[in-house]
Structure 1
Amino acid sequence: MPRPFVAYLRVYEPLSVLDAPLAVKVRKALEAGPIPRSEVGDRERELWLRSQLAKKLLPGGSHFEVMTISPAEVPTSDAARVGPGPLVCPLDLRARSAAALVGFLASAQPVLQDAALSIAPETVRARASAVMAELSAGAVHVISTTWTVPLPWFAMVDPAQRRVVLASAQDDPERQVSWRVAMADARRRVARALKVVKTALGDDGPAKVLADTGRWLEHFHPHSAVELDYGGLVQLVNDKDLLEDSSATDVNAIVDALETGDAEEVALRYESLREFWGELARRERHG
């Protein structure tokens, strides 16, 4: 079975800055062993499925997973600092599952809710809200999106710092595309892109994504690291197209072109993005 077609934004905070309750959980998880990147998608899928029964997810807190990286693995500008290590990313699976469940209750028809849930929706909503309230930072450390990457996310990374790992097969779990960036650099890049985009295009669309992303980043320690990871999306793209993907370069070029009023460059870069991500959108629609 292929991994879920999910991409991620992750925040890795220094273990030393976490408050006591969360730090205890993280240390315990680290003793058991951090979850390998290659297993994240399958582990999340397992819990998403369990969460649909509500009883499995909401009353207990037994599911706690963490990823970890070293500060040495994070490129930084002269104005940014990351660490000290280890840098840890709690996957916040219970909270993210609870949030997904709340979203399901808000959007699904009553007949579908009745078929999917084993207890009353009001009870599920109350328990889910309680789970989300457990977050010490007030925000999950991971944001995920299916089948695509929101294009404004690329504004926070340096295109030159892309990490590409090809493997023996397109569905090899070790295959990856990702970027890492110091929190201070990510915040600076997002703030600059938001200012440019709002001036050129207004407050909706890309500006809203950038504003929401900027607010999310503010929940975490300034010496953290941010990772943009294609996750399971790499299964949908062959090696040649993966290596030639210029999404981060194109988005950053669009921000520069919007700032200088170069409409021709904006159109050229957007066409490149539309071609690459449009193909993934067609895969979603047609399976």
Structure 2
Amino acid sequence: MADVPGAGRSFPYVSFLRVYEPLDAFSDAQQLAILEQRTRERRVTEQLDRADALQRITRLVSDPFPHHAQDLVRVLHFPRSNGTTAPFYCPNQLAVRTFLAAESLEQTIRGPLLDVLLPEVAREAHQARLDPETLTESTAKLHTRSATWGVPFAWFVLIHEDDLTEVIDDDGEVHTVRVSVTISECIDRARRAVANLAIAAPELDLLEELTEITEWLETFRRDAVVELDYGPVADLVFPDESPMDVRMGIECLAETDMTGAAAAYRRLASRWVPIRQLARAS
């Protein structure tokens, strides 16, 4: 399939945490949509997603919401213990995610600027396009989380450096790095970290973030797969030792080794603070 026009343009650094489930985890209607897209290459899906985002933000009339386009589905082929691979699926749920993002933006931005970014007529039209029952179900079970200008440290708790890793690069430029692992392992890792932090550092925001992520993961089937998609920020940090640094930092806190914990944090800060400062750069 030919490349999608406009899909190669660069975007701000956005990373994703996705949950993929087997086909029978979805409703009949969702399965039909998945089956229509299951043979499409991941590269093409990402191109379509970027092209659609570009089209929405460059409309003559400000309206960043999706209209009636078919929701994209990502496919992940994950190895099983018997040596074969099985397909897992992650619906983009773009309509619901943009609805929730708009609600969040309304809480942080007021006045004329909000109307410029999200005109009231566009917000009302988008809400009218959403089916209330589908909205409730999708909101309760979002398959995708996103973060701008860096990967949240809590996400690194879920993955280890020896998990299945795919590097997407071209001519020496890393376009993204995707790390995938079973959801059961992610939940176990998160629970151990929560237990350690609850005793050693209950005041840390990381504890609250991990608790919330664990509850989110537990809404999915235990045979699901989790994928951390670095996005274009991977080109600035890969190869990345952040998962090891986060794990060592938590272990040091549990052992009351403040020197080791501080060293792990300094390594993380030196890697990620400069990237997060880009969000405030002019």
- Matched to 2:109, the amino acid is A
* TM-score, normalised by the number of residues in structure 2: 0.82
Matched, 1:19 2:27: yes
- Matched to 1:256, the amino acid is E
1:218–1:35: structure 2 CA closer, same or farther, 3 Å change rule? same
Q: CA deviation at 1:259?
A: 1.8
Q: CA deviation at 1:161?
A: 2.3
Matched, 1:267 2:262: yes
Q: CA deviation at 1:209?
A: 0.9
Matched, 1:192 2:192: yes
- Which residue pairs with 2:170 in the alignment? 167
| SS in structure 1 at match of 2:221 | coil
* TM-score, normalised by the number of residues in structure 1: 0.81
1:22–1:136: structure 2 CA closer, same or farther, 3 Å change rule? farther
Q: CA deviation at 1:117?
A: 4.0
Unaligned runs of 5+ in 2: 1-8
Is residue 181–residue 227 contact of structure 1 (8 Å, CA) maintained in 2?
yes
Is residue 49–residue 72 contact of structure 2 (8 Å, CA) maintained in 1?
no
Q: How many residues align?
A: 269
Matched, 1:7 2:7: no
- Percent identity over paired residues: 21
Higher relative contact order, structure no. (Cα contacts within 8 Å, ≥ 6 residues apart) = 1
- Which residue pairs with 1:100 in the alignment? 101
Post-superposition CA distance 1:63-109 (Å, at most 9, x none): 3101111221x7x8xxxx9x983201111111111111112222221
| SS in structure 2 at match of 1:62 | coil
Q: How does 1:50-69 map to 2 (within 5 A)?
A: 53-54=62-63, 57=66, 60-69=67-76
- Which residue pairs with 1:158 in the alignment? 160
Unaligned runs of 5+ in 1: none
Deviates more, 1:17-26 or 1:262-271: 17-26
More strand by share: 2
Post-superposition CA distance 1:156-211 (Å, at most 9, x none): 112222625243142x6xx3223211011111111111111122221550011101
Is residue 176–residue 230 contact of structure 2 (8 Å, CA) maintained in 1?
yes
Q: CA deviation at 1:8?
A: 0.7
- Matched to 1:147, the amino acid is W
1:194–1:41: structure 2 CA closer, same or farther, 3 Å change rule? farther
Post-superposition CA distance 1:14-67 (Å, at most 9, x none): 012212222222222336x3542652762463376279945953xx54231011
- Which residue pairs with 2:241 in the alignment? 246
